[in-house]
Structure 1
Amino acid sequence: MNERQYWVGFSLTKGVGPVRLRRLQEHFGSLREAWTAEPEALRRAGLDRRALHSLLETRRRVDLEAELARLDKLGIAVLTWEDEDYPPLLKQLRQIDQAPPVLYLRGSLSERDEWALAVVGTRSVSPYGRQVTYRLARDLAASGLTIVSGLARGADSEAHRAALDAGGRTIAVLACGLDIIYPPEHRQLAARIVQQGALMSTFPLGTKPQATNFPPRNQVISGLARGVLVTEAGIKSGALVTAGHALEQGREVFAVPGNITARGSEGTNRLIQDGAHPVLSARDVLEVLNLEQ
């Protein structure tokens, strides 16, 4: 077996996240040694009872060679912390334990993706929100920025379509395994994204889009980008969670102002009130990122 199989094995193990995986790697010297270690050695390495049980159960039921074969058959690549083509902006977040140890990828990454902007917003997008999301994402993609979003209904899908229509690159980060496209009506859009960018997930094959998967998905969206642009969002929108992650990660936060009487703009207006860069055109983003031509 090669080392990559063990990264996949640990990604299938609940309760072993970036912090524990880093400790195991440091303790044993390699993930292969950690994967094959005896239970007592794993306890000494810091695994609690629940994580140890989860790892032993995963080792018992998973055929790692078969899992890699499944990934290969589906055209899904596996990137780890140790790979040169692991996204540099995301790798920087290892310092705060927010870099996923394993990324599953369909499509391709490019050096151009180091200049990426996350464009996110509400699923219940208004005609105004749809219009400004498309226009801004189109113009930003045409200016050379890779557009990162979450393939969700509403603003996210509009951002992906705009980037594709502009002939630009876009990355969709999913809250499920890459063998599942969610929502299902975006299968055709996902196929286009694979041709002009990538589908990405931190979740192994077969993982369904459960509610608990979306916050870590949002963390990856912001982590891949130089900044996050929220185009339309209510006060409880998940897009604001993504903006919060951006602040933790030292990214820029942008927001499109909206009608002060519209509930769908309460979140974006509040972001601006709290210090986010207001955006009326793509130029406003490019100036902050020092990319204005």
Structure 2
Amino acid sequence: MNAREQACWFALVFQSKLPIRVINTILVTWCKQAGRTIEDLFAAEAQEWARVCHLTTEGLQKLEQARETIVAQSFLVEQLQHSGISVISVLDEQYPETLKLALDRNHIPPLLFYAGQLDILKRQTVAIIGSRNANAESLHFTRLVARYLAEKNTNVISGFARGVDRTAYEGATEADGPTTIVLPQGIRKLSRTQLRELQPRIEAGKVLLLSQFHPDAPWLVSRAMERNKVVTGLAQIVIVAESDTKGGTWEGANGALHQKRRVYVRATKDSSIPAGNAALLEKGARPLSWSPSDEDQAFAPLLEKARKVQEQQRSMPPSPRQLSLLAIEYKP
């Protein structure tokens, strides 16, 4: 994607203020069906937008306003390139196919910003999610399972919040294995301390940093919820270390079940499990019983399950509701 085309994408996705579903519908009608680029879109007249994309008067006005920001977006493109931050669109071949299969037009991010190697996502990928205020037992479990999976070269994906997310990242990096961080904010909103910590691992090809939001977007609860759909959508298996019956982990785990992901919840033989974990079992999640003395017996089957699910994902036909329909030859 050249710099001009990229600036046009930024204008459409972030400056138009159009809902994601409308943006993705434009991609279907203008790019897939008409075979044209987003640069072509902004070079066209409003009458053609209405004819091809079937936009309302309000939608046409928003697109006109977005067109006026393209020059400013060009500066952002240069800044990102200087910072080593890359971007892919849902039309690019490198865009994760598992995400296209998991999310519909209301939720699939049109753009992903990243630092690191996207090939990490081609590995078997296991998401680990849980409470920001998880207890010591849940955190111990998280560290053990993340380290075990990373040692086996499995990509451990998490959201990098405090608690379970952060512990999953630490467990994976202790094993010097691959891990993916999906941010609930813009990729340029990480602190300098966080960037200093992550940069050597990113350069070594061990950490992939992802964000679906504008590079300067601050953290919001709504963004964290949207981020959770990407975390689970990129994975073959989702492990819940600790959940309440409400909040982000609960919503994320239920979202994973809706995505038809295999969801495992931490369960122990000698103590009660968190209320959210028990409720998820009633909803169809699977128990992951473990003890520190038999982690290989408990965790090894996850690898085989992830492998089988990955094979199924690769052979799954697209559904009309999914943006896998956009997997076409598209050359801006």
Instruction: Give TM-score, length-normalised by structure 1.
Output: 0.87
More divergent stretch after superposition (241-250 vs 124-133): 241-250
2:300 aligned residue: 283
Contact 2:124-2:306 at 8 Å conserved across structures? no
Q: Hey, what's the Cα distance between the residues in 1 that align with 2:19 and 2:155? A: 28
Amino acid at match of 2:257: L
Describe the shift of the 1:161–1:51 C-alpha distance in structure 2 as closer, same or farther (beyond 3 A). farther
Equivalent runs, 1:259-274 vs 2, <5 Å: 259-260=271-272, 265-274=274-283
Give the aligned CA root-mean-square deviation in angstroms.
Answer: 2.5
Contact 2:126-2:306 at 8 Å conserved across structures? no
Contact 1:5-1:65 at 8 Å conserved across structures? yes
1:16 aligned residue: 18
Structure 2's unaligned 5+ residue stretches are 291-297, 309-332
2:245 aligned residue: 235
Determine which of 202, 227, 235 is the counterpart of 1:194. 202
Q: How many equivalent residue pairs?
A: 287
1:221 aligned residue: 231
Q: Hey, what's the Cα distance between the residues in 2 that align with 1:232 and 1:187? A: 28
Residues 226-245 of structure 1, C-alpha deviations (whole Å, 9 max, x = no match): 12111111111311222222
Q: CA deviation at 1:19?
A: 3.0
Q: Secondary structure at the match of 1:105?
A: strand
Residues 172-197 of structure 1, C-alpha deviations (whole Å, 9 max, x = no match): 11111110027x87445543552412
Describe the shift of the 1:52–1:193 C-alpha distance in structure 2 as closer, same or farther (beyond 3 A). farther
Contact 1:226-1:252 at 8 Å conserved across structures? yes
Q: CA deviation at 1:140?
A: 1.2
Q: Hey, what's the Cα distance between the residues in 2 that align with 1:107 and 1:5? A: 22
Determine which of 128, 145, 149 is the counterpart of 2:137. 128
1:57 aligned residue: 65
Q: Hey, what's the Cα distance between the residues in 1 that align with 2:247 and 2:194? A: 21
Percent of pairs with identical residues: 25
Amino acid at match of 2:75: A
Q: Hey, what's the Cα distance between the residues in 1 that align with 2:112 and 2:121? A: 18
Residues 115-174 of structure 1, C-alpha deviations (whole Å, 9 max, x = no match): 101101000021111100000111111122101110101000000111111111111111
Residues 202-239 of structure 1, C-alpha deviations (whole Å, 9 max, x = no match): 11121111122111111111111112111111111311
Q: Secondary structure at the match of 1:256?
A: strand
Determine which of 28, 38, 46 is the counterpart of 1:31. 38
Amino acid at match of 1:20: V
Q: CA deviation at 1:60?
A: 2.0
More divergent stretch after superposition (230-239 vs 117-126): 230-239
More divergent stretch after superposition (113-122 vs 34-43): 34-43
Higher relative contact order structure (alpha carbons within 8 Å, sequence separation ≥ 6)? 2
Q: Hey, what's the Cα distance between the residues in 2 that align with 1:194 and 1:105? A: 10
